[in-house]
Amino acid sequence: MSNTTTAMRNELPAWTALAGHAGEMRGVHLRDLFRDDPGRAERMTLDAAGWRLDYAKNRVTDTTLHMLLDLAEACGLRTAIDAMFTGARINRTENRAVLHTALRNRSGRPVMVDGRDVMPDVLAVLHRMADFARRVRSGEWTGHTGKRIRAVINIGIGGSDLGPAMAAEALKPFSDRALSVRFVSNVDATHFAEQTRGLDPAETLFIVASKTFTTQETMTNAATARAWVLNALGDDAAVAKHFVAVSTNTEGVEAFGIDPANMFAFWEWVGGRYSLCSAIGLPLMVAIGPEHFTEMLEGFHAMDRHFAETPFARNMPVLMGLLGVWYQNILGAETHAVLPYDQSLHRFAAHLQQLDMESNGKCIDTRGRRVGYHTGAVVWGEPGTNGQHAFYQLIHQGTRLIPCDFIGFARSHNPLGDHHAKLTANLLAQTEALAFGKTAEEVRAEGTDAALVPHKIFEGNRPTNTLAAEMLTPRTLGALTALYEHKVFVQGVIWDIHSFDQWGVQLGKVLAARILDALQAEAEPALGHDGSTNAWIRYFRQNGN
Ligand code: F6P
């Protein structure tokens, strides 16, 4: 991210002005804001890339928004956006460009990295992916014994799993139901065992997806998969028909025994959690077909254009990012809930958790200083209406401020009876109840026993965004995912942190390797950990299998 000043972000006048403004907003209720401003809902609604965002039910006035936009300017957001789209090495701690937007660039224009246009490579890989997907879907690609492939299993973790797994669920209505596309990520063998249960190895194809091709979980699952196939088919040559790889590491792929001819490449400038549009999307393309995958890329691209070209005051990712800063940094919220009213999006929050928390879970600014403010929010969520009967109580009447995004669709893929009207009614009712609540007078007017009145009051003033599109399609899913990617980018710029590295996951990996040695040692190992960890190593050695 660019850094336009030596002041820490919370020392900028634009930031301190917001902190002062928060005092003026204390005691201002969404009821007042809507009562005093009939044009509010219309003014605070905007459309982009097939999505409508209504942000009127936020605890903001026009003044608040102007001040947040001033903060964006003061933090150099425009320069930062341009730097990302033009291939500058904005991932400075890894000295890499950040160009997931090139993966879905449908403009026909070149995208340069170090003086070289990356688009021919991007399009060539998409072409190879489409050819492979068609061959698997049509039955032309058979297993080693000549049987048709009935199951495709992606082995990958983190960014090499969550995006395609989320999208494969979301886009089930567009998928070939005769082909089962599954995902194995956890190093817990139960995941592999359950996902392969009942499958015939002769009809199963594995996609081993790993940017580095060194990730412990993925390499372990891939080795287990190879043994599973070879045990059944009894011929090493079977690997060629049952394994393909997606990676940036050709040598690693070869060392595993997969022919590089069966490898789909991507590049160091694609971050794992931003890689759905790269070859990491291969299992999704196999599931939904190349045409639907292309529609998804177009949805991503439409939101990319909106983000790159729209003035900040009408820019959806910019506004959502700034509203998040308002709540997390100025009003003291700590989490952010994402609540899709669509069962197919049941893995969307999981994908966003990596996208947002791995990107913005940082405490050091771009000048190497410990920040004096909060950065990434804890992101969480579940589909409505299930969440309503689980955790919404706390959102309505708990002590914490929890900003929420409600996501819905005008039309259902399954228009059964009045299910969809009920689903939508619940979405709208929740945002209305959260914003406007129920006063003591209203509770009393219902004849409520005086002792119960305090318990039945809903304070309201709980902020929400409402996002809706006509239908969940490859295009709208692409645009929605890009919207959150760019929201995360905006916040990273405001917080002046490096959003595109993830050093925080390294220490655990190193320690796990040491502990694994101790767990597997034949003789009683000399343990050099702390007392607690040493005791647990002894416990698992004594009681484990
Ligand atoms: O969790 C750390 C991480 O490096 C993620 O950023 C990445 O998506 C994941 O591991 C998987 O990495 P790889 O694709 O290299 O196997």
- Does the CB atom of residue 272 touch ligand 1 within 6 A? yes
Is residue 358 annotated as part of the catalytic site, yes or no? yes
Q: How far apart are CA 385 and CA 56, in angstroms?
A: 22
Ligand 1, residue 215: give the atom nearest the CA.
16
Distance from the alpha carbon of residue 271 to the mean position of ligand 1, in angstroms = 9
pLDDT for the residue 352: 98
pLDDT for the residue 3: 47
- Over 60: is that where the pLDDT of 74 sits? yes
- Over 90: is that where the pLDDT of 540 sits? yes
Q: How far apart are CA 179 and CA 288, in angstroms?
A: 10
Q: How far apart are CA 544 and CA 527, in angstroms?
A: 18
Q: Mind listing the pLDDT tens digit for each residue in 129-183?
A: 999 999 999 999 999 999 999 999 999 999 999 999 999 999 999 999 999 999 9
Ligand 1, residue 273: give the atom nearest the CA.
8
Categorize the per-residue pLDDT at 408 as very low, low, confident or very high, splitting at 50, 70 and 90: very high
248: three-class secondary structure by DSSP: coil
Q: Please compute the mean of the pLDDT values over residues 222-251 and round it to a whole number.
A: 96
Distance from the alpha carbon of residue 363 to the mean position of ligand 1, in angstroms = 20
Categorize the per-residue pLDDT at 280 as very low, low, confident or very high, splitting at 50, 70 and 90: very high
Which of the residues 169, 217, 295, 358 is marked catalytic?
Answer: 358
Contact residues for 248 (Cβ-Cβ < 8 A; gap 6+): 211, 212, 213, 265, 266, 267, 268
Categorize the per-residue pLDDT at 476 as very low, low, confident or very high, splitting at 50, 70 and 90: very high
- Does the CB atom of residue 271 touch ligand 1 within 6 A? no
- Over 70: is that where the pLDDT of 5 sits? no
- Does the CB atom of residue 185 touch ligand 1 within 6 A? no
Strands 51-54 and 45-48: antiparallel
CB-CB contact of 358 with 502 (8 Å): yes
Q: Mind listing the pLDDT tens digit for each residue in 318-353?
A: 999 999 999 999 999 999 999 999 999 999 999 999
Distance from the alpha carbon of residue 163 to the mean position of ligand 1, in angstroms = 12
Pocket test for ligand 1, best of 212, 247, 354 (most atoms within 8 A of CB): 212
215: three-class secondary structure by DSSP: coil
Pocket test for ligand 1, best of 208, 211, 263 (most atoms within 8 A of CB): 211
**Cα→Cα distances 59→10, 24, 52, 427, Å:** 21, 12, 19, 19
Distance from the alpha carbon of residue 221 to the mean position of ligand 1, in angstroms = 15
- Over 60: is that where the pLDDT of 1 sits? no
Q: What is the pTM of this model?
A: 0.97
- Does the CB atom of residue 248 touch ligand 1 within 6 A? no
Distance from the alpha carbon of residue 201 to the mean position of ligand 1, in angstroms = 27
pLDDT for the residue 545: 86
Categorize the per-residue pLDDT at 6 as very low, low, confident or very high, splitting at 50, 70 and 90: confident
